Amino acid sequence: MTLEPEVLARVESGVGRLTLNRPKALHALNLSMCEAMIEALLAWRENEAVKSILIDHTGERGFCAGGDIRMIAESGAGDASAARAFFDTEYKLNHLLFDYPKPVTALVDGVVMGGGVGISEPADVRIATERTTYAMPETGIGLFPDVGGGWFLPRLPGEVGTWLALTGARLKAADTVFLGIHSHYLPTDALEAFRAILAADPAHPVDVADGLEADPGEPPIEPHLPAIDRLFAHDRVEDIFAALDADGSDWALAQLAVLKTKSPQSLKVTLRQLRAGRGLDSFADNMAMEYRLGGRVVRTHDFQEGVRAVIVDKDNAPQWSPATLEDVSDAAIDALFAPLPDEEEWSPLV
């Protein structure tokens, strides 16, 4: 019995194609998948026959639901060496895509979360469909929005990235295109036409997408943007909670109720990550920050407990520790962000 590769890499009509092929796991990324994509991208980088890159997936359920969380949790329960090795490689892939010298297109058709955001947000053309559901839900499992979240989320309009990161809110295509998370909307039945026209003009995926794009409809998020910008502008999570409570509207209280289910430690880590990321000069600096965080956060109680509650036992009743924002000390957060020894710091591929 021959196992199909988890990433299908080939060149077709001038397009370097990377197709995620782990449908039963919603194409959740593992180390070997990241390594396979890096290998192909490096081989195609100087290949003049390859004009652009296309990332898509097999099946219909989702683009990529994240990373291999069970593996990361099992590693974090020990010395976290396997988790760090995964983060190191995954972040090298994210950075390679971010700096890639040829146009990259991601067909984000279906669920895109976590690791899937990491390989689609760096793309020049990011196509959503009616099946797209976008979220960065990491605070609900004691983690933080990594894979470049510290870079991309603060650069969305106003404070919407802060709201997305803290609440884990799920968006459909009308919102993601409106906010610029995705660059184009195409109905699913137009994707084959996109691939066909791209094969005839592989160097200009933006033009192909522009020619086919459709209207995703009115964005439900738009009326809430003034409230998001006002209520999520604070630099302390406690102040965001207080602002939502004082606002008292149904929408604000609904956000507050969601936030109260999240890991207090993760909320504080995430807000500091986004505020720091907003001021960084390079994507590589952001990934180095996230690598420091990743190797440490996966060893914390809250990540282990979040994975148990949401992914393993599925009781959705995590017991966070510390249980309140007030009990999460600045010193504990400082320690998670502290520099690593020089020889252990993350660096991009040469």
Q: Catalytic residue numbers?
A: 67, 115, 138, 146
Sign of the torsion angle spanned by Cα atoms 329, 331, 332, 334: positive
Query: How far apart are the C-alpha atoms of 111 and 133, rounded to whole Å?
Result: 5
d(CA 33, CA 39): 10
Distance CA 199, CA 174 (A): 27
Strands 52-57 and 15-20: parallel
Cβ pair 297, 260 in contact under 8 A: no
Amino acid at 252: A
Tracing tokens 């660059």 back to the chain, one arrives at 183
Residues 182, 127: contact at Cβ < 8 Å? Answer: yes
Rounded to 10°, the helix 264-278/160-167 angle is 150
